[in-house]
Amino acid sequence: MNRTIRLENPPARILSVVPSQTELLYALGLEDRVVGITKFCIHPETWFRSKTRVGGTKKLDLSKIRALNPDLIIANKEENDRLQIEQLMTEFPVWMSDIQTLDDALEMIACVGSLTQKRDEAEAISHNIQTAFARLSLSQIQRSVAYFIWKSPYMAAGAGTFINEMLVKCGLKNIFEHSRYPEISAEEIRKAAPALILLSSEPFPFREKHIQEFKTLCPFSDIRVVDGEMFSWYGSRLQQSPAYFKQLFCTS
């Protein structure tokens, strides 16, 4: 982001406005120092029930944030609203992440560990992630895939997204790479006929009942509902993602 954050003291009142980074703060052992989260920060459940919620990732309640008086806000370029973040930057130290690749995620984990004086814990998490992905070996090379995140209109995860990075790690070829989150018509889906169609559990909550809808468009495609957190949460949850990918694809 070409910005420098300077903290005179270790942050004692941390606000996270990104779900995957909230979960990372929990994994780093920052229970007593995190004062606020968003309504989408559902992990861990104990924090979701007990921490002050400051609205959604793109619709933050600035008055609640001011009342919490954080000495560090951890945000993300894609997930948060630019105008709101720029307003917060005039009032509080705001550290931004910009995640497109696994290396970006590992760098974020290291930086957050450094900011919060949890370097050893962050290094352990990063080591676990790197080890797990190094052991990920799937026979999916260049199998065409479409990963849908929304319905009405259909939207897919495309090039430059962290989801696409995870698809690549699984040995898959994203068939809708022409933009970050392209809108796809039913006819385009029919013509593309990807070998594999993945329906994410978030942000649109695809369920088993939606499989038939896509089956009518692509009767020969392998269509599955998948855990979107495993493909898009770029914090400590990445320790679990490779095992999930193996379970998902090894029998395909």
Per-residue burial over 2-25, b if 16 or more Cβ lie within 10 Å, else e, is eeeeeeeeebeebbbbbbbbbbbb
pLDDT of residue 140: 60
Instruction: Please tell me the distance from the alpha carbon of residue 118 to that of residue 123, in angstroms, as a whole number.
Output: 9
CATH 3.40.50.1980 placement within the chain: 14-98, 143-249
Percent with pLDDT over 90 in the chain: 90
For the cut 50, the answer to whether the pLDDT of residue 252 exceeds it is no
What does the pLDDT read at residue 170?
Answer: 92
Fold of the domain spanning 14-98:
Rossmann fold (3.40.50)
Mean pLDDT of the region 39-52 = 97
User: Tokens 């290094």 identify what position?
Assistant: 123
Per-residue pLDDT for 78 more than 50? yes
Residue 141 above 70 pLDDT? no
- pLDDT at site 52: 98
At residue 3, what is the residue type? R
Which amino acid would we find at residue 71? D
**How many angstroms separate the Cα of 90 from the Cα of each of 66, 73, 85, 97?**
12, 12, 9, 18
- Region 198-218 average pLDDT: 97
Largest CA distance in the chain: 60
d(C-alpha 69, C-alpha 13), whole Å: 7
Per-residue pLDDT reduced to its tens digit, 106-132: 999 999 999 999 999 999 999 999 999
Q: What is the mean pLDDT of residues 62-67?
A: 98
For the chain, the average pLDDT equals 95
Position 76, amino acid: N
Digit-coded pLDDT (tens) for 146-164: 999 999 999 999 999 999 9
Model confidence, pTM: 0.95
Q: Does the domain spanning 143-249 belong to CATH 3.40.50.1980?
A: yes
Q: What is the pLDDT of residue 76?
A: 98
